[in-house]
Amino acid sequence: MSLIIPQGYRNLLGDTEHTEKAIKAVKDMFQENLSAQLTLLRVTAPMVVLSGTGINDDLNGVERPVRFPVKGMEEREAEVVHSLAKWKRLKLGELGIAPGRGIYTDMNALRPDEELDNLHSIYVDQWDWEKVIRKEDRNLDFLKRTVRRIYEAIKVTENKLYVEFPQIVPELPDEIRFIHSEDLRARYPGLTAKERENEIVREWGAVFIIGIGGVLSDGTIHDGRAADYDDWSTPNSEGYRGLNGDILLWNKVLGCAFEVSSMGIRVDEDALRTQLAIRGQSWKESLYFHRRLLAGELPYTIGGGIGQSRLCMYLLRKAHIGEIQSALWPETMRTLCHEAGIELV
């Protein structure tokens, strides 16, 4: 168990009632801001999908989904989603949404293999969003413009929150800055990927790290990403590879880089084949989702997930995600947190 106990931590909102009111305020404000910035329609999403279709998110390829047979469907196996990265693209194709518009939804998932700590829970809730783009929009400039819009939605939410809860003083920098994972490795050659993140986000405050999932020049990968949604292999205008990344903010409460979103321009037909081959997963080309994409039946898109509990935790200056959401925690963790004034729901 990895647990950070901040010295002198206190709940700025005073009690559970005010925390719950603030959580609702953040969620209401942010989804409205995000929808306006990206032109998104809210849709209803599934919690389970059928196994063997390729629709579920494989994350790093080792995490086990929660699976069960469905009695009313001749015992066919279903699984709880890890995220809706691929389902959203199918939905956009079904709705026939034009380029420049998209969808968002409340995604609820179970990830039983998560390492439980201040930031990670087996219960995952996020705003999953996806937007239709044109073929010519598959470039780094378009990615950066979209990241800036999302960051603006976060900043507007922080400022509005300050009006209702003046003890939550805004601290985000005016702009988010960009760096490729290769440049980040070169900048801090003796550090691990997480240590590099801490150093750059401590310095800049808000950072988008580009190229998550692709192999770096030293043969390592900054962080894992599945082969069949984000495009981490296509050459970009800065001379590197990758049209995806992570949004990280500096968390003063915990003293570390704090990921609030992973996102990116999604694979086209060529990138999907390339990335599946790199990962030794070309057999997936026969799965339902992958067949449709390779046949040109799905729109080009950009999309990602933004953690709901994560964003609330950051904006409300909480020390543990369990102060935001009700989940399962080891008794030892509950005891240590209680002794430090961190009350888990």
- Give the 3-state secondary structure percentages of the chain, helix then strand then coil, rounded to 5: 35, 20, 45
Q: Does residue 202 sit within a domain?
A: yes
Secondary structure string (H, E, C) spanning 70-104: EHHHCCEEEEECCCCCCHHHHHHHHHCCCCCCEEE
Q: Does residue 63 sit within a domain?
A: yes
Tokens describing residue 164: 């209702």
Q: At what angle do helices 308-315 and 140-164 cross, to 10 degrees?
A: 50
Identity of the residue numbered 200:
I
Q: What are phi and psi of 35, to 5 degrees?
A: -60, -40
Q: Does residue 269 sit within a domain?
A: yes
The confidence score (pLDDT) of residue 16 equals 85
Q: Does residue 312 sit within a domain?
A: yes
Tokens describing residue 187: 């900048």
Identity of the residue numbered 22:
A
CB atoms within 10 A of CB 343: 16
- Residue the block writes with tokens 């900054």: 222
Pairing of strands 244-251, 177-180: unpaired
- As to burial, measured by CB atoms within 10 angstroms (0-12 exposed, 13-18 middle, 19+ buried), residue 331 is exposed
Which residues 6+ apart lie within 8 Å of 46 measured at CB? Answer: 81, 84, 87
Q: Does residue 98 sit within a domain?
A: yes
Tokens describing residue 61: 């390829």
Output the domain CATH number for residue 118. 3.30.930.10
The confidence score (pLDDT) of residue 173 equals 98
In DSSP terms, which residues pair with 40 in a beta bridge?
102
The confidence score (pLDDT) of residue 345 equals 87
The confidence score (pLDDT) of residue 251 equals 97
CB atoms within 10 A of CB 11: 17
CB atoms within 10 A of CB 43: 16
Q: How many Å apart are CA 92 and CA 76, to the nearest integer?
A: 26
DSSP one-letter string for 263-311? EEEBP-HHHHHHHHHHTT-GGGGGSHHHHHHHTT-S--EEEEEEEHHHH
Q: How many Å apart are CA 93 and CA 130, to the nearest integer?
A: 11
Tokens describing residue 152: 């603006």
Q: Does residue 5 sit within a domain?
A: no
Q: How many Å apart are CA 79 and CA 4, to the nearest integer?
A: 32
CB atoms within 10 A of CB 128: 25
Mean pLDDT in runs of 10 for the chain (345 residues)? 89 90 97 98 94 85 90 95 92 96 95 93 96 98 98 98 96 98 96 97 98 95 94 96 98 97 98 97 96 97 97 98 95 96 92
Q: Does residue 51 sit within a domain?
A: yes
Residue numbers annotated as active site? 57, 111, 126, 246, 259, 262
Indicate the SS3 state at residue 261.
strand
Element (H, E) at 147: helix 140-164
Q: Which domain holds residue 217?
A: 16-339
Tally of structural domains, the chain: 1
Q: Does residue 307 sit within a domain?
A: yes
